[in-house]
Structure 1
Amino acid sequence: MEITFLGTGVAIPQLNRVQSGVLLRLEDKPLLIDCGSGVLSRFPEAGVSHTEVDTVLLSHLHLDHVADLHPLIKANWLRGSTSMKVYGPEGTEEWFLKVLDAYEYLQEEVDVDVIELFPGEAFTPDGFDCEISCTAASHSVPTLAYRVIGEDGEFVYSGDTEPSRKIIEFSADVDLLIHECSFPQGMKVTNHTTPSTLADLLEESDVEIGTICLTHFYPDMQEHEKETINRLKRYFEGDVILAEDLMKLEL
């Protein structure tokens, strides 16, 4: 199982970071989790053809996680690939169709199946040898965290969230937890995570997690990388990694 971070940033432009997107490759078949602005342009840099992607998971519908989904579908259509399955939280179908309505020429050319998920559901996408389950994150709109169980390992992707005991418990015994860490410690924020608030939750928990990889960085996180890792390492014995665009991890 190979995980490539196509985008590790947020809605604010940053050098070398586009918006959120993680590409999972299971037995050579790719699955995309989130598709924010700039993610589509990362495919050539990652050495992956966008036409290989026919399955997308959306954590939530904020623009920095979905802005390149329709451009991806159009790019695939221009190269003869017209089918797509999109999984997401409640409201995904209505949002998707409203955007598609603006592009009449595309509506009859593509076959997109939108599947809305609710916390607690589990499923296996067509063509994949894995099980995916979801739970609710703590954010300003309906947001899902995903757990992917494959032959080579297991990981959780938190989506955007405040530190959530539910997500930590959801991550029990995974090889990798990909967790947002939007702002540096000491900042008072809602709907997002800082190193301090995540560390406090880890201190309270006895859940076993192999590695934590942090992502979804606002510009405020620049020059706080070392202190971020040190803060989490007080209460977490495994590796702590800060994601970068085009970084790859193997499970």
Structure 2
Amino acid sequence: MEITFLGTGVAIPEKGRVQSGLLVRLEDKPLLVDCGSGVLSRFPDAGVSHTEVDTVLLSHLHLDHVADLLPLIKANWLRGKTDMRVYGPEGTDDWFSKVIGAYGYILDEVDVDVIEVYPGKEFTLEGFDCEITCVTASHSVPTLAYRVTAEDGEFVYSGDTEPCRNIMDLAIESDLLIHECSFPPGTKVTNHTTPSTLAEMLENYNKEIGSICLTHFYPEMKGHGKEAIHRLKDYVDGEVILAEDLMKLEL
């Protein structure tokens, strides 16, 4: 399993980071997890054709996680690929219908199947040899964290969230937890995570999680990477990794 971080940033522009998106290659088939603004433009840099993607998993519907979904569908259509499956939390079907409904010239040309999934659901993806479990994250809108289990590894993706037991429990005995870390230690914030608040949650777990990769950085996190690693390194069995755009991890 190979994970490529297409975007590790947020809604505020920062040099070198676009908005949220992961490309997970499972037995040579790519699964896209979130699709924020700028993610589509990362495909050539990652050496992947956007037309390979026919399945997208959305954590929630904030723009920095979904803004490039319709551009991706259009780009595929312009290259003759019209099918897409989109999995997401409650409200995804209504949101997508409104967005694509504004572009009638695309609406009748593509075949997009939207599947809403709910906390606690275990499901498989058509064409993939993996199992996915989702739980509720702690954010300002309905948000799902996902655990992807395949033959060659398991990882959890938090989406946007405060640290919460739902996600930590989901990540027990996983190889990798990809967790948002929006702001520096000591920042008072809701709906998001800092190294301090994540460490406080991890104190309740006895190194039961493999490695942690931090992502979804606001510009305020710049210069605080070493501090974040130092704050968290004693709570995981493996490494604490700071995600960068186009970084690849192998499980």
Q: TM-score range by the shorter chain?
A: over 0.9
Instruction: Report the CA distance between 1:207 and its aligned residue.
Output: 5.5
Distance 1:237-1:133 versus aligned 2 partners, 3 A rule: closer
Q: Is the 8 A contact 2:21 2:32 kept in 1?
A: yes
Q: Structure 1 unaligned runs (5+)?
A: none
What is the number of residues matched between the two proteins?
251
* Structure 1 position 167 matched with structure 2 position 167: yes
Question: How far, CA to CA, are the matches of 1:156 and 1:192 in structure 2?
Answer: 17
Q: Give percent identity, aligned residues only.
A: 76
Partners of 1:225 and 1:26 lie apart in 2 by 29
User: Retained in 2: the 8 A contact 1:8–1:243?
Assistant: yes
Q: Does 1:130 align with 2:111?
A: no
Could you tell me the TM-score, scaled by structure 1's length? 0.99
Aligned positions of 1:43-192 closer than 5 A: 43-192=43-192
Question: Does the CA contact (< 8 Å) of 2:21 and 2:35 recur in 1?
Answer: yes
Q: Distance in 1 between matches of 2:197 and 2:237?
A: 17
Q: Is the Cα contact below 8 Å between 2:207 and 2:236 reproduced in 1?
A: no
> CA–CA distance in 2 between the matches of 1:145 and 1:87?
12
- Secondary structure, counterpart of 1:226 in structure 2: helix
Contact kept? 1:155, 1:177, Cα under 8 Å: yes
User: Residue 16 of structure 2 contacts residue 245 of structure 2 at CA under 8 Å; is this kept in 1?
Assistant: yes
TM-score (norm 2): 0.99
Provide, for residues 162-199 of structure 1, a one-character-per-residue CA deviation record: whole Å limited to 9, x for no partner: 00011101101000000000000010000000000000
The letter of the residue matching 1:59 is S
1:169/1:207 contact within 8 Å kept? no
Moved over 4 A (4+): none
Structure 2 Cα separation of the partners of residues 192 and 142 of structure 1 = 14
- What letter corresponds to residue 161 of structure 1 in structure 2? T
For structure 2, the 5+ residue unaligned runs are: none
- Is the contact made by 1:173 and 1:207 (CA closer than 8 Å) also made in structure 2? no
Letter in 1 for 2:242: L
CA distance, structure 2, for counterparts of residue 172 and residue 73 of structure 1: 35
